[in-house]
Amino acid sequence: MPKRKRSTRPPPQESLLPQKRHYRQRAHANPFSDHALSYPHSPHACDWSILYPAFAGSGKTPEFADVGCGFGGLLIALAPLFPDTLMLGMEIRVQVSQYVRDRILALRATSNTPSSSPGQYQNVSVVRANSMKFTPNYFPKHSLSALFFLFPDPHFKSRKHKARIISPTLLAEYAYVLRPGGIVYTITDVRDLHDWMRTHLEAFPLFQHVSEDDLRHEGKGAILDAVFSGTEEGRKVERNNGQKWLACFRRVEAVRV
């Protein structure tokens, strides 16, 4: 009796997931270009029920924001760990943001959860947005508990340093949307960029450095593990035996005089 050939078909879930090769785009985008973007005029104009239909009517708004979320690795890693926390990825590249959107929809469709549960990956979504210009348009004051800047564009040339995602002006906006006690997570494989981000965050009066050990002691080990290895960039650095530099900062209360 002839042997039955092993099927080369992918599992149903894999067959529904989008393929990156269909969403290829340049690695970086100029944040100062006039991108064709649609954005809310204020956070109160955001209809979160469109992005998180399972949470419609709950009054919940995003608590985690992944700035420059790339292909969505961090969101996908964290979603099952914090099922009741809404997370939003912000990505300026049109093809990449569409990939993340399609990836989330596919995961929602193929996740098996009890009927009483909102379902896996219902708590994550993505918007195409220029976070350097429009972060306060999405998030109310002190609404976020975590901001992620993972492997951002290093903009190596000095004349392009103004395009780096961490700067004194932008830190004022991040401090506005981050609640006291919230954490800014930064990681990069570029030492110069790490020094830049850490120096600017240390100089800003509303942020205070917090060590990895302290964060793990506070129960944030799962978040840190996702920061290190949950993204495509992080895994790429590991495959190339590269080094990663982490710097985390806590949003502190303003000192009144």
CATH of the domain at 113: 3.40.50.150
Mean pLDDT of the chain: 88
- Higher local confidence (pLDDT), 90 or 94: 90
Annotated binding-site residue? 242: no
pLDDT of residue 9: 46
**Edge to edge, what strands does the sheet with 64-67 contain?**
124-128, 87-91, 64-67, 144-150, 178-188, 245-251, 207-210
Q: Active-site positions?
A: 153
- Which pLDDT band, with edges at 50, 70 and 90, does 231 fall under? very high
Annotated binding-site residue? 131: yes
Annotated binding-site residue? 92: yes
The count of domains in the chain is: 1
In a domain, 28, yes or no: no
What's the rounded mean pLDDT across residues 172-187? 98
In a domain, 143, yes or no: yes
Annotated binding-site residue? 150: yes
Which runs of E-coded beta strand occur in 113-241? 124-128, 144-150, 178-188, 207-210
Tell whether the model's pLDDT for residue 166 goes beyond 60: yes
The DSSP symbol for 43 reads G
Tell whether the model's pLDDT for residue 83 goes beyond 90: yes
| Listed residue (123, 66, 52, 139) closest to 97, CA to CA | 66
pLDDT of residue 196: 96
Q: Lowest mean pLDDT: which of 11-20, 76-85, 216-225?
A: 11-20
- Which pLDDT band, with edges at 50, 70 and 90, does 39 fall under? confident
pLDDT of residue 99: 94
In a domain, 10, yes or no: no
In a domain, 40, yes or no: no
Which runs of E-coded beta strand occur in 73-177? 87-91, 124-128, 144-150
The DSSP symbol for 160 reads G
What's the rounded mean pLDDT across residues 238-256? 92
Tell whether the model's pLDDT for residue 6 goes beyond 60: no
Tell whether the model's pLDDT for residue 238 goes beyond 50: yes
What percent of the chain has a predicted confidence (pLDDT) above 90?
Answer: 72
In a domain, 168, yes or no: yes
In a domain, 15, yes or no: no
In a domain, 228, yes or no: yes
pLDDT of residue 116: 46
- Which pLDDT band, with edges at 50, 70 and 90, does 12 fall under? very low
Q: pTM for this structure?
A: 0.86
Annotated binding-site residue? 119: no
List the domain range (segments joined by +) for residue 140.
60-251
In a domain, 46, yes or no: no
